[in-house]
Each structure stands twice: as structure tokens, then as C-alpha cells.
């Protein structure tokens, strides 16, 4: 016969496992819709300015749509780069079409500029936005 302590341990660990599964489901990463427009600008859907707001350490799903250049003779390529967070994955090459990238906001509150670092043509110098962590 099993000892009462092991029965209790089994029940407690099952409970914790169940809670972990539920919390995982509740914490589905937020989806942020971003458009890299045909005139080389970032738009964040639902926001007047290209600003992403996140909580410290929040996991984000960036759903990025890249529109083809107006006079596209070569494939359209951009990047979404935060220079100070490059080593944490915030440097993705963007190609025409829609793709989702899972990235984690830094733990340090602040404003971080995201920008395109691929010379994409007119508008490139203004192709940026802000990640606001608070």
C-alpha cells in the first residue's frame, strides 16, 4: 500500500501541472500587426504612430506584412532591428508577404527605436518606430 505522503505528493504535483497548463493557455502571446508599406514605412495596426507598447519581459508575436515596392523590379526586403537588442533576436530580415516572429520585450522599461537597416529606397531613413516598455 502507498504511503499517505506519496499520495499527497502525487495530488499536489498533478495540481501544479494542471495549473501550469492553464496559465500557459491564458498567457497566449499578444499579436501585434505591423505593415511595412510599399513606400517604406512601418505601420502598427490600431495605432496612429508606429509604436508597440509592451510590459517588461512580455512575449510578443509580431505579425509583419511586407508590401511590395510600388515599382518593384527586385524582391522587397527590409529589416526590423533594435540595435541595442540585436543579440536578443530583435533583428529580423523581412521579405514580401506575411510572417510571424515571436520576440520578447526587454525587462528594462524604456523606449527602444526599431528601424529598417536594409537600404530599401525612398523613405528608408524614416522607416522606424518605437517599442515602449512600461
Which stretch in 2-10, 54-62, 97-105, 121-129 sits in contact with Cu ion by CB under 5 A?
A: 121-129
CB of 56 to Cu ion, least distance (A): 28
Among 30, 43, 124, 128, binds Cu ion (CB under 5 A): 124
Q: Does 63 bind Cu ion (CB under 5 A)?
A: no
Between 40 and 52, CB nearer to Cu ion? 40
Closest by CA to 59, choosing from 86, 92, 32, is: 32
Q: How many residues bind Cu ion (CB under 5 A)?
A: 5
Residues 91-120 that bind Cu ion (CB under 5 A): 116, 118, 120
Between 81 and 106, CB nearer to Cu ion? 81
CB of 101 to Cu ion, least distance (A): 17
Q: Which residues contact 53 (CB under 8 A, 6 or more apart)?
A: 132, 133, 134
Between 105 and 116, CB nearer to Cu ion? 116
Between 51 and 77, CB nearer to Cu ion? 77
Residue 89, phi-psi category: left (phi > 0), alpha (psi -120 to 50), beta (remainder): left
Distance of CA 10 to CAs 19, 91, 121, Å? 14, 44, 62
Q: Which residues contact 133 (CB under 8 A, 6 or more apart)?
A: 53, 54, 55, 56, 105, 106, 108, 109, 110, 111, 112
List interacting residues with Cu ion (CB under 5 A).
116, 118, 120, 124, 127
Amino acid at each position: 500500500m502507498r504511503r499517505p505522503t506519496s499520495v499527497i505528493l502525487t495530488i499536489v504535483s498533478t495540481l501544479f501541472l494542471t495549473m501550469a497548463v492553464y496559465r500557459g493557455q491564458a498567457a497566449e502571446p499578444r499579436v501585434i500587426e505591423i505593415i511595412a508599406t510599399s513606400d517604406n514605412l512601418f505601420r502598427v495596426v490600431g495605432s496612429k504612430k508606429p509604436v508597440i507598447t509592451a510590459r517588461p519581459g512580455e512575449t510578443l508575436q509580431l505579425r509583419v506584412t511586407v508590401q511590395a515596392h510600388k515599382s518593384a523590379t527586385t524582391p522587397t526586403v527590409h529589416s526590423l532591428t533594435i540595435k541595442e537588442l540585436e543579440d536578443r533576436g530583435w533583428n529580423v530580415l523581412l521579405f514580401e508577404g506575411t510572417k510571424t516572429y515571436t520576440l520578447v520585450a526587454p525587462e528594462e522599461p524604456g523606449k527602444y527605436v526599431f528601424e529598417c537597416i536594409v537600404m530599401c529606397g525612398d523613405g528608408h531613413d524614416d522607416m522606424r518606430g518605437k517599442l515602449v516598455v512600461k
